[in-house]
Every structure is written in C-alpha cells, then in structure tokens.
Chain A
C-alpha cells in the first residue's frame, strides 16, 4: 500500500512549491475520483498529494462578457448547476454531466478530467470543440496551451514537474454558435465512453455553417481535433451529405484500439455516428440561440 503525504496549500505559489520540491511522486488532488483508485493500485512506496481545492479560484467558474474562466477543480455537480454557462456552452456542461454517477460528479472536475488525460475523457472533446485554453502555473510563471495540445498521450500531458493547471479559459463564442457533446456507452450511465464527439457550430442567418470545430474522444491515444470533419461542415447547411462527410472524416481520423469497451471497427464507425448527431444538435441550438 502506498504511504500518502497530504498537503492542502492555500495558494498557487504554495502548491507549485510543494510540487516542485517533492522528492516522492507528487500528485494534484482535485476530486480524487481517478487519483484515489490509481493510488490503491500503485506500487509506489510513497506519494505526495497536493489538495488544490483550498486555493482561491480553483473551484469557481466565472462567465464574463468575453470569456468563461473555469477553476479546474470545481466539481462537475457545481459546474452543471451554472445556468449561465449552460446557456452558452450546453455541450461542455453535458460532457461534465456525463462523467460518472451523481456521486462522482460531486467530486470530479473538468480540470481533473483533463489532467487525468484519459483518451476517453468526456470533457476533452467538448473543450476542444470550444477552443479552450489551459493556463498552467509553474516555478517559471504561467503559460497557456491550447487544450488539443495539452494531452500528449494516454494518461500523459504537457505539464512538467512543479506545474499545475490554474485555469481553463474559453472565449465567448460568436453569435449563432452552439455546441453539443455525445458519447456512446453500452448502458445509459456509469460507463466510460466507447467513443465521444464534441462539436461546435456557427451558423449565418441563412443557416449555413460558417465555422465549426469537431473534437473526438476514445478513438485515439488522445482526444483529437478533426479539422477535416469541421471543413466538411463549413459552407454547408448541415445536409445529410455534409454530415456524412464529417462523420467519414472523423472515422478516418480515428485510430482506435480493441479493448474491453469496444473494437476498432465498432469505435471507428460509432464515432462518425456521434459526430453526425452532435453536429445536428449543435446546429439546432445555434439556430435557437
């Protein structure tokens, strides 16, 4: 069993200091829904947990005139209660709502989901679709990374020793823009995504798509931004042919594996179906909004 050292600093500097100077494997404790299970299965003798939830701003969300500034450790349950955010980013909120059970949402956070860097993370395709930026604090100060570049591999991300995710920011979208996130699971709840798709759509007054972003999950080592799928949608009225072209582009961009949750063939096919369906929902919302 791992011997745990627990610290709960009240400032970013304090957290960075602890993380940078740790002489045992150091982990950021946000909701803990992944970390506590992983620690139980770990062969580490000792681990440092830095609980970041006592740091100001880490568990809050603020939607301004220009952007959403999301404290990465805000619980999904609290996040999904923010009606103002839901009105602007319904797909992102849906993605947060899909993580685990009500109980898990009481602890799990968007930032935790991102930093755990699972290929199947629900919020990452939705963050990608919305062009989210990750603000990372570290011993050398702050840097900002686009979300699609944050995750670098299965369970790996671009954060170096001593760094932590301080904020997730998303610019307010243009008028007539909305998003949607869909995932496929065998049951109705509680499963890890077999495939996921987040789509953001901007329409002009005639219902023609002027901009789109498509993120897909669980079909490659990291969630992917799929420009080809977006390109297939832009310029169209999201007719069947355009949707199918986007679906095909998503399937083509995927490089899934076969595991206990799905096969290569199945995932490749279903991710296309999800892109099609999510794009349709996002477009409906963009019209309505």
Chain B
C-alpha cells in the first residue's frame, strides 16, 4: 500500500509527512514525527492522554487519521508555552502539584488550554465535566482542578 503524503501545520509550523492511510494522527505524531509528548493510554478515545487540537477543536488524536490532518492546524503539548517560558497552565500544574506520574499531564494541559479558550471563567463543575475525558489515576483530580481554576483566574487577570 502506497503511503499518503500529507501537508499540515503542527504548532504553527509547516510539516509534511508520509503515512499509511490507516495510521492515526497519534501514530504519526509519535512514531513519524517523534512528538512523543502526546501519550497513548487506550487507543479508543476513552482516556484523553492523546488530546490535541485539530483546527482549534479538542480531539483524541487516536481517533483521527493522519491523512485527515491535510491542510489542517494541529496543536500538541509541544506547542503549549513558549520555548523559554512555561504557559500559565503549566506553571499552575507544577505549583499545585497537580501531577504525580505525569503521563496524563500533557493531555490535561492541552485540554485545559482548550477549556480556558472556550470558557475563561468556568465553574468548578464546568471544569470537571469538560475534563471528564482526561483520566488521571494518581491524583483523584483534586489538585488538577485547583490548578485549572487558579490558571483560569490568573489568565483572566492577565487578559
């Protein structure tokens, strides 16, 4: 089977790759492009570890084909924050000890960024429901939600 050629944009930079039409965007990010910050926890859209944005929409990259990224804009954890400075959300996750093992963290940060872009002033309940698709088995979510709410507040103040 011939591979498909895809031109896309990842974290604002033009990227081209070849992929099998059956490969998921997650496969491409991790195995072709070595963007291993995006994690695979389930491969079925049930854990959120592979969360990325596709044309600004939060999606599970395990449920998107690599070929579907043609002409699209993809955002991954590697694009959160500047090269020399963490994003406020990243800072707040560290400050609040919102991670233990950290494997769900990239997905949670990508999702939190999408949440706060859509809704800069979420209630705790709104944050919990928006992030329900990001499983964390270590923290019990308490410190994650505190980090999200604090990041939201800090971002509102800075806006």
User: CB–CB under 8 A between A and B in the complex?
Assistant: yes
CB < 8 Å: which of B21, B45, B59, B130 contacts A5?
A: B21
Chain A positions within 8 Å of B64 at CB level: 32, 36, 107
Is B20 in contact with chain A by the CB < 8 A criterion?
Answer: yes
Known A-B contacts A32-B64, A77-B57; the reply to A100 vs B20 at CB < 8 A is: no
Q: Does A4 interact with chain B (Cβ within 8 Å)?
A: yes
Contact residues, A50-101 vs B (CB, 8 A): 51, 75, 77-78, 100-101
* Complexed CA–CA distance, A78 and B56 (Å): 11
Of all chain A residues, the one with the shortest Cβ separation from B20 is A4
Using known A-B contacts A106-B54, A106-B59, determine if residue A3 contacts B1 with beta carbons closer than 8 Å.
yes
Min CB distance A126 to B, Å, is 19
Distance in angstroms between the alpha carbons of A60 and B12 in the assembled complex: 26
Say yes or no: is A103 at the interface (Cβ < 8 Å to chain B): yes
Q: Determine if A103 and B22 form an interchain contact, defined as CB atoms under 8 angstroms apart.
A: no
Q: A106 vs B50: C-alpha distance in the bound complex, in angstroms?
A: 13
Taking a contact as CB atoms under 8 Å apart, the answer to whether B63 and A101 are in contact is no
Dominant SS at the A interface?
mixed
A51-B58 in contact given A33-B63, A100-B45 (Cβ < 8 Å): no
Query: Do A37 and B44 touch across chains, with their CB atoms under 8 A apart?
Result: yes
Whether A1 is near chain B, meaning CB under 8 Å from some CB there, is: yes
Given contacts A103-B60, A190-B132, contact A40 B65 (CB under 8 A): no
Assuming the contacts A51-B68, A101-B48, A106-B57, asked whether A1 and B133 have C-beta atoms less than 8 A apart, the reply is: no
B45/A33 in contact, CB under 8 A = yes
Whole-angstrom distance between the alpha carbons of A106 and B64 in the complex?
11
Task: Check if A104 sits within 8 Å of B44, measured CB to CB.
Answer: no
Residues of A with C-beta under 8 A to B111 = 102-103
Partner of B63, one of A51, A104, A190: A104
Q: How many residues of A contact B (CB 8 A)?
A: 30
Q: Which of A4, A39, A51 has the most CB of B within 10 A?
A: A4
A6-B67, A188-B129 are known contacts. Are A103 and B43 too (CB-CB below 8 A)? Answer: no
Taking the nearest CB of chain A, how far is it from the CB of B61, in angstroms? Answer: 9
A160 within 8 A of B: no
A36 touches B65 (CB 8 A): yes
Nearest chain A residue, comparing its CB with the CB of B71: A54
Mask: chain A, 21-40; 1 = CB below 8 Å from B; 0 = not = 00000000101110011011
Q: Which residues of B contact A189 (CB under 8 A)?
A: 129, 132-133
Q: Is B4 an interface residue (CB 8 A)?
A: yes
Residue of B nearest to A39 (CB): B22
Give A77 to B57 CA distance when docked, in angstroms.
8
Q: Do A107 and B46 have beta carbons less than 8 Å apart?
A: no
| A2 on the B face (CB < 8 A) | yes
Residues of A with Cβ closer than 8 Å to B?
1-6, 8, 29, 31-33, 36-37, 39-40, 49, 51, 75, 77-78, 100-104, 106-107, 188-190
